[in-house]
Amino acid sequence: DEEEEEEEEEEPSLESLAAAAVRAASRLPMAEGIELSDSLSAWLESGGDDGDIPRPFPQSEWLRIFACATSQRRFNRIESTYSNLRVLLAINFDDFNIGDNGKDEMQVRERALLKARATFAATSLPSIADSSRVWVAASGNKPASEPLYEPQEEISQLVDRARAVSDNERPVIYECSAVFVSENATFVGYGKVSMPLLFANSGHMTVAQQLAHDQLFEKVSVGLGLPFVGNSAFDEFYELQQLKKSGKMRRKTAGAALLKEKLLREATLLDSDILKVSSFLNHMVDVELMEACGEELAERLEETQATKVLTVEATGLLPSMFVAKALGLPIVFARKSRQIGVSDSYQVSYKSHMVSSVTDLYVSTEYLTPGDRVLIIDDFLAGGRTADALIRVCRMANANVVGGGFLIEKRNDAGRAFLSGYQIPLESLALVSIDNGSISVIDDEVDTGGDGETLEGTALFRVMQKQGGVALGGLDGIVEEEEEEEGEEELVMPNRTLTALNLSANLIGSAGRLALEAAQAESSALCRLSLAANPCLLEGPTACLSAPQRELIASSWKALNAEAATRVGVNTLCGVLRAVPTAAALFDEAKRFEDSEGVRDAARKAVVIIGQMVESLEYPESLVQPLEHLGMRAEAAGIPAVVPFDAFGQSLITSLENELNDKISDEAVAAWHVAYEAASAFMQKAYSPQQLATGAAARPAE
């Protein structure tokens, strides 16, 4: 008994075991984990989620969507438990086969983490998994039995064999680890039961599993901020969420009201579209106004669960200080010049629509770190260039941008549409429109489809809403609908009679463009479409691509695994360096060719950039600034125009063809050529007409 007590005192705490499990599992290979489940492999081969898995609120009633890797019996039990948090356990892979790998004390936790991380890697859904084992402990001169992993009927056989040769007090140990893995969090629950051999049976395994999952449930609920709702209270909860989303539950509204009043009374115009707010914001500051605005923005963005506020020096600091104060967060501000004493910093460049010169921003690597949840706050949202630069800084630091807040949004400059590709929530307190030298403050309103009829009443809207809940404002078209007979249920049918659509001054953004494509596909009669002077539909390097072309590019890139993508990057870079040796100026580490680790590092960076751009194909305006920035870097490094860009595109597409072979079609290759030509044109905007002419003259004859 004394020896057993000493062993118990030396046993590490559950917290230390869980931490060690997380560290150990971080070294486990994901590809091997995926191959351990036939159902998971089959799910991936079939294309994964084909729309069967719902999207989180407000697209469905579920706040979160999880995947699982546990037994079907356990899945059925925890499914209803997590529904009380309004979490849907959407899919379960119950056939992981890891095998028995010895008596390692951490093995049960590593196995659970391997299953969860493999499921998360394959589905991109936060994942829950568990692993169990049972063994008969050592007693006297009898060693411990071999552990049984994921035991079922085998427990009874193990106990019966031990009873034949052991005394009734010999312990049987039941152990289970349940884990949760997502992009930003890992939680571990642990359960352990020890029973004398006389009373041991298979039911005690269920007790250990329940202990582990109960502990995990509590950690997930607290760690993710998911309150217990319960089925009976959900109707009220859902209504509350709808009210919050519409803004009707906001307690602090004084900031927006005061700001709109100030704009109407004191704002003036410089030139044709520059808003002068010096009397209360940019030169002389109304402190009470700034505090009210900061508190209201903080309330609107509170649920983003940010950990830091990021802004740009000067006017961005004013609202940021009060937002940060209300949320209890530190502020990091990007400087416009490199500071003495700051050795390492992230640097980005951007060109404001108000200033013709390029501006550099610097943020110390000490104050922006991986895993930070960042709110971007600024005084104006105009063209979106400054906010885009701050987002790119966060991406360099592997920090997550969870939202953006602005005092004044200029509707004419379409900054919201420019940032739509990042898919982050944006809040502004005052929406301003400038037209013919006059300033208008726009209140929240429902757009109409003509003759006072709300757009929600048109068949075109229903088609677009069906494609993703996008509302298009200011449609000027011919829409015919059949009147519904009284008492009949309304049918959501595509409008096949729409013949003309005018979007000349409609700032619908990329989301609206995608819905418009869906509407065009449904309505073959749509023969006249005016897009004149519509920046949101015409701006961006991939705006020229059709939906099938974008899909061909995305699917061919997804066909590459990490190793194949790196080979494509290396071959592309080497091809460019052979054709244009001066291009090495862009890569300080690229001293040699295939045997250079520097080239491989540069190739990996290039692959990451290409992958991010492929993911943003449907939001072309979000690619403008990154491509222009790459072009500015090339021009500053002395890379000539035209020929090096041609060489990179040809080398990239040739490398893709060689790597994918018959997995890439001629149509996909053609789509890559179209996309790269458009991207190349945007990159070369940094060059002067003379440089472009010189580069074109140096292009070899075909």
* pLDDT of 227 over the 90 cut: no
Give the three-state DSSP class for 577: helix
Per-residue pLDDT tens over the stretch 146-164: 888 888 778 888 888 888 8
Of 49, 84, 73, nearest to 233 (Cα)?
84
Please check whether residue 235 is in contact with residue 259, taking contact to mean a CB–CB distance below 8 angstroms. no
Structure tokens at 257: 């009201």
Burial 60-72 (b: 16+ CB within 10 A, else e): eebbbbbbbbbbe
Range in 217-221, 447-451, 542-546, 686-690 with the lowest mean pLDDT: 447-451
Task: Quote the pLDDT of residue 621.
Answer: 66
Residue where the block lists tokens 């998911």:
226
Per-residue pLDDT tens over the stretch 172-202: 999 999 999 998 889 999 999 988 888 888 8
CA distance 649 to 652: 5
DSSP letter string, 207-261: HHHHHHHHHHHHHHHHHTT-----STTHHHHHHHHHHHHHTTT-S--HHHHHHHH
Residue where the block lists tokens 């700001």:
259
CA distance 660 to 680: 23
Give the three-state DSSP class for 600: helix
Look at the pTM and tell me if it is higher than 0.95.
Answer: no
User: Which residues are CB-contacts of 685 (< 8 A; sequence separation ≥ 6)?
Assistant: 628, 631
Given CATH 1.20.1260.10, say whether it is the number of domain 253-442.
Answer: no
Amino acid at 492: V
The matching CATH number, chosen from 3.40.120, 3.40.50, 3.90.950, 3.30.519, for 12-235 is 3.90.950
Per-residue pLDDT tens over the stretch 63-105: 899 999 999 989 988 988 898 888 999 999 988 887 654 444 4
Task: Quote the pLDDT of residue 178.
Answer: 95
CA dihedral over 219, 225, 231, 233, signed as positive or negative: positive
* pLDDT of 526 over the 60 cut: no
Share of the chain above pLDDT 70, in %: 71
CA distances from 299 to 13, 252, 254 (A): 39, 7, 12
User: Which residues are CB-contacts of 40 (< 8 A; sequence separation ≥ 6)?
Assistant: 34, 69, 93, 96, 118, 119, 122
For the domain covering 547-698, report its CATH number: 1.10.490.10
CA distance 257 to 246: 17
Phi, psi of 346 (to 5 degrees): -85, 140
* pLDDT of 293 over the 80 cut: yes
CA distance 473 to 509: 11
Q: At what angle do helices 14-25 and 107-123 cross, to 10 degrees?
A: 50
Please check whether residue 441 is in contact with residue 431, taking contact to mean a CB–CB distance below 8 angstroms. yes
Question: Domain-by-domain residue ranges, the chain?
Answer: 12-235, 253-442, 455-538, 547-698
Count of CB atoms situated within 10 Å of the CB of 443: 9
User: Which residues are CB-contacts of 665 (< 8 A; sequence separation ≥ 6)?
Assistant: 552
Structure tokens at 16: 């230390």
Give 33 or 192, the one with higher predicted confidence.
Answer: 192
Per-residue pLDDT tens over the stretch 248-281: 555 667 788 888 888 888 888 877 678 888 888 8
